[in-house]
Structure 1
Amino acid sequence: MSKPIAGVLLFGMWGLYLCYLFLGLSPWPSAILAWSAALLLGPRLDKAARRQCSILYGAGLLLLLFCWLNGVRFSAKELFLPNLDMVALFTAVSTLNLATSALSDNHQPNWRGWRGLASSLLGVSLLGAVINMSVLFVVGDRLAVNGTLDRRQVIILNRIYCAAAFWSPFFIAMAVALTYAPGMQFSRILPFGLLAALGAMVITSWDIWRLGIADFEGYPLRLQTLRLPVLLCLAVLVGKWWWLTLTITGIIALMAPLVSLLLMPRQNVVVALKQQVTQRFPAMGSQVVLFLGAGLLAAGIHGLTQILSPQALFAHISHYGVIEAALVTLVILFIAYLGVHPIIMTSSLAPLLWHLHPDPSLLGMTFLFAWGLATGATPLSGANLALIACFRVRAWNMLIWNLGYAVKQWLWLIALYALYIWCYL
C-alpha cells in the first residue's frame, strides 16, 4: 500500500514543482512531498540499492557533522532543496514510457557493429545537446535488456552525453561559463568545443573497439525511433524560447509528460495513467532516495571545501595560460570525484582567477571543458547517478571504466587550450 501512496506523493511533488517554476510558489511543498516519498520507498529498496543509499547518507551525515563541529553552518535550503529539480525531472521523463511502446519500433532490431556505434554517438550527442538528461532514458530504455546496459552502452551514454556540455548552448554549463567568464565569445569557443566532443567520441570508439565491436548493439536512427526524441527536442526548443529564464531541466519537466500524453496509444488511457502513478513512479524509488541523499553529500563536501580551502592551490599563479587552464581542469575533475559538482568549484575558483585578467573565452572554455570531463568521468555526477540508479550500474565499475578516458580526454583538452592560444593570443 505504501508504494501507491508514494506514487501519488511523487505526482504531487511534480505538480507543485511546476507551480514553483511557472507560478512562483514556494519550493518547500514540493520538497516535503519528495522527502516523504523517499521515506516511504527507502526501506523497500532492494538490498544493493539500500546498501548504496546507506553509504551515501552515512557519508553525507558524517561530513555535515564534521563541518558543523568546525564552525560551518548550513541552511535548510542547502540541505533539503538540492536535486529537487532532478527528482522532478526523473518523475517527468518516466512518463516517456507511455509513448515508447507505440513509437520505439521495438519489433525492429537495434543496429549492430560500427553502424550501431556511429548512430549511437551521433544520436546521444545531438539529442543530448538539446533535451539534456532525458536522452539517457530515451536511448537507455531502448537498449536495456532486463533493465540493464552493458559496459559499452554505458560509456557511450555517460561520456558522449556529458561531452555535449563542451559546446551546447542548452546546457546549464554554458550559462555558468558566461556568468563566471564575463566577455566570453560563444563563436570563438564553439569550434574547440566541437573538437573536444569529437575527441570524446574517438576515445570512446577506441575503447568499444577493444571491448568488441561486432556484437555491439546501438541506438537505431530510424524515423520511427527518432519521432519521440525529435518531438521532445522541438518542444524543449519552443519552451526555452518562450521561457528564457528557465533551465532546460525545468522545461523538460513540463514538456516530457505533455509529449508523452500526445503520443501515447488511445486505448485504456485511464488504466495506463493509473499504472504510471501507482507503479511506474514508485519504481523510481532508488533514484529519488539516491538523488536526495546526493544533495546532502554535496552540501557536506561543499562545507568541507570551506574548511580545507582547495582554492589555495591558485594563490601563487600570476598568469593564465595552458598550464593554468590544465590545472584548473584537473582540480575541478579531482574534486568532482569526491562528489562536488563542477558548478560549486567554478563559482569558488573563478573569483580567484579574475585578478589574472585571463582571456574571457579561454577561461570560459576551461569551465566548459572541466564541466564536461568531470560529469562524464566521475560516478557521482547527476548523469552517472541516473545511469547507476536506473540501469543497475555499479558505481565502482563506473569509476574504473572511465579512469583511462579521464586521462586521455584531459590531455586532449590541454592540446585544445594550446591550439586556442596559438589561434587567438
Structure 2
Amino acid sequence: MNLLKKCTGWFVLGTLVFYLLSVAHLTPVLLPTLLAWGANIAMWHTLAPSAKRQVTWLMMIGIATLLFAGSKGTWMTWQQVFAVNLPMLAMFVAVSFLDLTSSTDEKRPLPKGLSAIFNTALGVQVLGAVINLSVILVFADRIKGAIKLTPEQQFILTRNFSAAAWWSPFFVATGVAIIYAPGMQWQKTLIPGLAMGLVAIIFSTAEAFRRTKGDFNGYPIRKESLFIPMILASSVIFFHFIWPDISILVLICLLAPSATILLMRTPSRRKSLSHFVNHKLAQIGSQFALFLAAGIFSNGISAIILSYPQFFNLDSFTFSPMLFSFTLAIMIIAGVIGIHPVVSIAIASPMLLPLHPDPTQLGFLFLSAWAISAGSSGLTGLGLLMTSRYQIPTKTIVTNSVHYAVFMWLLCSLVNSFFL
C-alpha cells in the first residue's frame, strides 16, 4: 500500500500523458482509464468523509441503474461507463501544472477602497481562469491577514472566481460543457461569457463597496502577475484558429504543462516538477473520485432513459428560451443545496440531447449553471473550502448570494434569448 501511495502522483500524471497518446492513436484508451482508476483507489484515503459519501452514493446509484437497465436489455460500453470523463481528468491534471507559475507577494501593503475591491474581483477572475482553485487560497490567505475573512471578501472571491467558468477554456467547466453538449463551439460562447464575467465583477464590486463604504482590504495585484494567464489564453485561441480540428481540451492538455515548464521561475525545474508530481498531484483525489463517479452515475441515468423512452420523452417540448431558463433555475437550486454542477449536468444532458438543442446554447446552459451555483453555494467544493479553511458559515455564503444568483439567472436567460 505504501508503494501505491508513492506512485499516486505518477498515476495522475500518467492519466494525462497516456490520454494524449490515446488521442494520437498510439496507445489504447484502456491504459489511461486504468491509471485514472488506480489513482482514484490510491487517493481514496485522503478524501474528506463528505466527499467519500457523495462519491459512494453516486457510484452505488450508477451501478444499480446500469444493472437494472442491463436486465431490460440496455447495456452501455465500458468506455462510456469508466472513461467518459477521462478527457476532463486529463485537462484537470494539465491545468494543475499552472500552480507552478503563481507567485506570492507578502511585502506590499493591502490596498483599500473601491479600486481595491474592483482589482481583487478582476484579479481573482483573470488569474483563476488559468491557475484555477489555488488562486483562491493565495488571495484569501493574503487579504485576511491576522483576522478572519469578511463576508464581503468571501463573496468577491467566490463569485468572481466561479464567473471565469463562463469564458475560460482552462476551467474544468468548459471541458464538462464540451463533453456533455457534443458539438459545442466554445468560441461562440466566449463573447457572451466575457460579458457575464464582467457583469459579475461590477455587480459584486458595487455591492461590496455599498456594504463596506470602501473599508475593504484588497489583494495587491501586479501587472506582471496577469502576464502568464493572458499569454496562455491567447495561445489557446491562436492554436485553435490554426488547427481547428484539434479540440480545445487537447490543446489545453498540451499547452498548460508546456507553458508552465517554459515560464516557471525556480532555481531547479527538475526539483520543482518532481515535488509537484509527488506531492501536489497526489492531493487531487476529490476531483478524480467525483468525475469518475459522475461518469458511472450519468451513464446509469442515460441507460434508464434509453430503457424507458416513453417516460422520458420530451418530444412535445423544444429547447426554447423558456425551457433553458427553467432548467437553469433547477440546476442552480441543485448546486446551492450541495449537488455538484458536474452531477446536475450529467443528469440534464441525456434528457435534453434528444431535443436536438443547438450545442452552443446547451453548452452555455451548463457553463451558466456551473458559474452561478459554484459562486453561490456553501456546500459545493468552493463553499466547503470557505467554510472549513476560513470559518465562513454556510448560511452566510448562501444568504450573501441569493440575490446575485437570481440576477445572473435572469441575465443568462436574456443573453440566451437575444444572442444565442
TM-score normalised to structure 1 length: 0.72
Identical amino acids, percent of aligned pairs: 22
CA contact (8 A) 2:312 2:351 kept: no
Structure 2: gaps (5+ residues): none
Counterpart secondary structure, 1:26: coil
**1:160 pairs with 2:141:** no
- Give the AA of the match of 1:164: W
1:231 partner letter: I
Confirm whether residue 262 of structure 1 aligns to residue 257 of structure 2.
no
Specify the alignment match of 1:21 in structure 2: 23
* Residue 250 of structure 1: aligned partner: 250
Q: Which runs of 4+ in 1 moved over 6 A?
A: 174-178, 307-311, 388-391, 393-401
Q: Encode CA deviations 1:69-118: one digit per residue, 9 max, x unaligned.
A: 243533211221133233323323333333324xx545435655432332
Gaps of 5+ in 1: 355-362
Instruction: Give the residue type in structure 1 aligned to 2:138.
Output: R
Structure 1 residues 25 and 204: alpha-carbon distance in aligned structure 2, compared to 1, 3 A threshold:
farther
CA shift, 1:402, in A, is 5.3
1:377 matched to 2:366? The reply is no
CA distance, structure 2, for counterparts of residue 154 and residue 310 of structure 1? 45
Give the letter aligned to residue 40 of structure 1: A
The equivalent of 2:38 in structure 1 is 36
Q: One-letter code of the match for 1:21?
A: V
Equivalent in the alignment of 1:223: 223
> What is the RMSD computed on CA atoms of the aligned residues?
4.6
Query: Compared with structure 1, are the counterparts of its residues 211 and 127 closer, same or farther at alpha carbon in structure 2 (3 Å cutoff)?
Result: same
Query: Residues 350, 268 of structure 1: CA spacing in aligned structure 2 closer, same or farther, 3 A cutoff?
Result: closer
Q: Shift of the alpha carbon at 1:281?
A: 1.7
Q: Does 1:286 align with 2:281?
A: no
Counterpart contact for 1:379–1:395, Cα < 8 Å: no
Alignment match, 2:53: 54
The answer to whether the 8 A contact 2:232-2:259 is kept is yes
CA deviation map 1:305-345 (0-9, x unaligned)? 55677996855458x86545534544665677575454874
Residue in structure 1 matched with residue 412 of structure 2 by the alignment: 413
> Retained in 1: the 8 A contact 2:8–2:43?
yes
Over residues 259-294 of structure 1, what are the superposed CA-to-partner deviations in whole Å (9 max), with x where a residue is unaligned? 222223352333222212222221223332333223
Q: Is the 8 A contact 1:373 1:406 kept in 2?
A: no
What do residues 340-377 of structure 1 show as CA deviations (whole Å, max 9, x unaligned)?
454874564355367xxxxxxxx677535422321123
1:233 aligns to what?
233
Q: TM-score, normalised by structure 2?
A: 0.73
Q: How does 1:83-232 map to 2 (within 5 A)?
A: 83-101=85-103, 104-109=104-109, 111-123=111-123, 134-137=130-133, 139-145=135-141, 151-164=154-167, 179=183, 196-205=196-205, 208-209=208-209, 212=212, 214=214, 216=216, 218=218, 220-232=220-232
CA distance in 1, matches of 2:263, 2:308: 52
More deviation in 211-220 or 233-242?
211-220
**CA distance in 1: counterparts of 2:112 and 2:302, whole angstroms:** 43
Count, aligned residues: 395
1:410–1:293 distance in 2 versus 1, CA, 3 Å: same
Shift of 1:221: 4.2
| Superposition deviation, residue 378 in structure 1 | 3.4
Task: Identify if the C-alpha distance between structure 1 residues 276 and 193 changes in structure 2 by more than 3 Å, giving closer, same or farther.
Answer: closer
Cα distance change on mapping 1:296 and 1:388 into 2, 3 Å: farther
Deviation at 1:237, TM superposition (A): 3.3
Distance 1:114 1:272, change over 3 A: same
